[in-house]
Structure 1
């Protein structure tokens, strides 16, 4: 499988990752979330899911600064995001499937194109000569190509590719799921088991796509189970026991094969990622479905509630631009060293300071380009929702 960037480059002359890039799941890094429904429109937002989505984005950015191998065990961001996206997709498919797919493409592609103009343009200026695969920069149904100089920026696009394929497959997947919900949900783990023990996908775009889909298929279908009420009808003992078993197996596999993969980071171990995400996301969604877990109390903290709203309305923008923000933070901090007061009183060599500067630059990108998400959703463009 391909990989995506771990940590932040400390080189003003290049935008590239350090060694194998990490990936959440099939050796992939964090990705964005799927387009969220319009904030402030229609029925009241589910603040529990909104908060999970915001936490996933925060964890993504922090992981790409610190490269903590244990981060996926604490909060498997991509498993959570695919689960939430699957639930939203099942709700949307109450409408005609073709209209839903067009809507998803319309909401996701314009922010991607806006971001891609800068990334592709920079790589072309640096001498990159693309082949026919540049068509994947129009619709990323395969991994878009790029130069090694820009790898840290473009390698995160594995999520868009996986998300789009799930969107295209969802009308069929949902129909099959509704024929036998529980058996189909359990069988959703079968592909990743096959790919690990029986047949290894080829190391190309096709193989990478298959492995990513297999790794997160259970989480996506789990979203169907939540939306259709199947999850709420399951017995607590069965759900908890099976979820804990999946968590235990995933953690054991990651630790037992640490020598083989060189790490216990779930991002580099697809099979362990699939099991851990399955157990973790099942417990999160079951808490919502069975116990009615709600974060309505969030409204009492207006600033925090506002922040969650912004994160959800600008999720694609934050994801796409966060790596560029972290890369640009490095030469910016290097300039700070030239100011004696900054050198004396600011922790310029701290990764936490880098994280802070990165978030400031992310906020700048949200203000500059977040309105594209509004335009893609056919809403009035605004600096902030």
Structure 2
């Protein structure tokens, strides 16, 4: 999933990546691997619900940061065409998935109102029934991504006026929403809070693409990043009583600062040290898996919750087979995790071709 930007005084073009840092078609295997790991972490979190998972690997901040980088690169072309292309690649997979989810909710008694228009273009959270909540609650990411795409031409123009000050100021809005003005408890407020939470990561992607990070000395990057990590972790742990958890997904301010510090260190390592994963090509199956995850990122994200939901009744059927009941760990969350991935793989094969159609490529079962 990605984002875009454009305009303003053009900074010097970043140096070419170190030899072996990119794969076929100019793909960066370091970023591709991070995106694949982020998707695996999302599925893992939605299976086990581990509150500490976001501290170990803040997948959403990483995905927004990578998307910002891709958007800045894309906006070397005319902005309108780039935005139109990004929206085109997002909406058909969303519509295809939405047909099944909306139809299932309607069959189970859901009565939609005018807000069903958000199932056409998710500029706000698409409505849904409590019965289908596990499927549609993940759509906040698509809504936030879409808004970042639409805002990126302006954001990139502003960023290029004063890169470092603008980047640092991107943490101010989430602080204001925490300590100053409280956003309304509605779609607008929720959307605004998500945008401010991940704004720094998105614009950090611009900084990486434009070579800003590569030009900064470690003393100007590492201590502030560690400070952001420390503040994010402290805030989450110190406010457990208020939020009932230290899960970053439930604490926007902690999520914003922890993700900012974490993604900064990841991107700075790439920009300054030229870290690449060209050696991944020597492990052909693993390299292939990373390729599939990146080419089917939207499919994995949209369908993984349905896979986990469907895994439960499927496992219930396995209990009826005495041999399976005796020899398989049917009551284990890890078994649910495994069955979920089998179903995700099936969805990739059955539904992933929609991403090819949206990107105007020849449809394939596997990329």
Q: TM-score range by the shorter chain?
A: over 0.9
Structure 1 unmatched runs, 5+: 1-32
Aligned equivalent of 1:171 = 153
* SS of 2:25 mapped into structure 1: coil
Aligned equivalent of 2:262 = 280
Report the Cα distance in structure 2 between the residues aligned to 1:134 and 1:341, rounded to whole angstroms.
46
Structure-to-structure mapping, 1:27-106, within 5 angstroms = 33-34=1-2, 43-106=25-88
Compute the displacement of 1:261 (Å): 0.4
Compute the displacement of 1:126 (Å): 1.0
Aligned equivalent of 2:239 = 257
Aligned equivalent of 2:8 = none
1:375 and 2:343 aligned: no
Report the Cα distance in structure 2 between the residues aligned to 1:188 and 1:84, rounded to whole angstroms.
17
Aligned equivalent of 1:248 = 230
Q: List, as ranges, runs of 4+ consecutive aligned residues in structure 1 with deviation greater than 6 Å.
A: none
Q: Deviations over 1:13-62 (max 9, x none)?
A: xxxxxxxxxxxxxxxxxxxx3399xxx99733100000000000000001
Aligned equivalent of 1:145 = 127
Compute the displacement of 1:235 (Å): 1.0
Report the Cα distance in structure 2 between the residues aligned to 1:313 and 1:34, rounded to whole angstroms.
12
Size of the alignment, in residue pairs? 350
Aligned equivalent of 2:271 = 289
Report the Cα distance in structure 1 between the residues aligned to 2:199 and 2:136, rounded to whole angstroms.
23
Q: Deviations over 1:68-126 (max 9, x none)?
A: 00000000000000000000000000111100010001100000000000000001111
Report the Cα distance in structure 2 between the residues aligned to 1:247 and 1:210, rounded to whole angstroms.
23
Report the Cα distance in structure 1 between the residues aligned to 2:3 and 2:319, rounded to whole angstroms.
39
Checking the alignment, whether the CA contact within 8 Å between 2:2 and 2:68 is kept in structure 1 is no
Checking the alignment, whether the CA contact within 8 Å between 1:35 and 1:315 is kept in structure 2 is no
The TM-score with structure 2 as length reference comes to 0.94
**Compared with structure 1, are the counterparts of its residues 177 and 104 closer, same or farther at alpha carbon in structure 2 (3 Å cutoff)?**
same
Report the Cα distance in structure 1 between the residues aligned to 2:37 and 2:125, rounded to whole angstroms.
26
Compute the displacement of 1:190 (Å): 0.4
Report the Cα distance in structure 2 between the residues aligned to 1:34 and 1:120, rounded to whole angstroms.
25
Aligned equivalent of 1:4 = none
**Compared with structure 1, are the counterparts of its residues 282 and 41 closer, same or farther at alpha carbon in structure 2 (3 Å cutoff)?**
closer
1:314 and 2:282 aligned: no
Report the Cα distance in structure 1 between the residues aligned to 2:315 and 2:219, rounded to whole angstroms.
52
Structure-to-structure mapping, 1:176-325, within 5 angstroms = 176-325=158-307
Checking the alignment, whether the CA contact within 8 Å between 1:232 and 1:289 is kept in structure 2 is yes
1:131 and 2:106 aligned: no
1:351 and 2:294 aligned: no
Aligned equivalent of 2:99 = 117
Q: Deviations over 1:141-180 (max 9, x none)?
A: 0000000000000010000000000000000000000000
The TM-score with structure 1 as length reference comes to 0.90
Report the Cα distance in structure 1 between the residues aligned to 2:201 and 2:186, rounded to whole angstroms.
24
Aligned equivalent of 2:139 = 157
Structure 2 unmatched runs, 5+: 5-21
